[in-house]
Structure 1
Amino acid sequence: MADFVGGNVKGALMQLDPKVDVRVTDSSGQDREIGDESDWKICTQEPLPGYPPNGQVIRFGAVLIGENC
């Protein structure tokens, strides 16, 4: 899998197969709902870059652009 950390969520989703199950959560600890994916920056990802998803859920932890991971 590619390294999506530091990019925005919308860009990552556009690069992934639409059939892949992707879950995005707020990494800030504020439990905010992810609205416009283009406003969110990816801080963490599972599986890690270089490892194939092998049908598992792809998980991104993200914060609003301008916030620190």
Structure 2
Amino acid sequence: MTDDKMVTKKDLPPAAQRALAEAEARRAERDAHEARLEAERAKEQGGPTKIEPTRYGDWERGGRAYDF
């Protein structure tokens, strides 16, 4: 059996600590990039202002159902 010893960041060698820091920076950069892309994405234009107006699989606006 192995010893049940928790390894903390202080116990890691310097190279492993640098690798963890670099990975954390890459994750933060990726998340920021994804957030920018999401903000730049165009919203639907001319679509319904409320929830999707579907009922029984048909589209409805003003009491009239229509399909595409």
Q: TM-score interval w.r.t. the shorter chain?
A: under 0.3
Q: Where is the strand percentage greater, Structure 1 or Structure 2?
A: 1
Normalising to structure 1: TM-score of the pair?
0.14
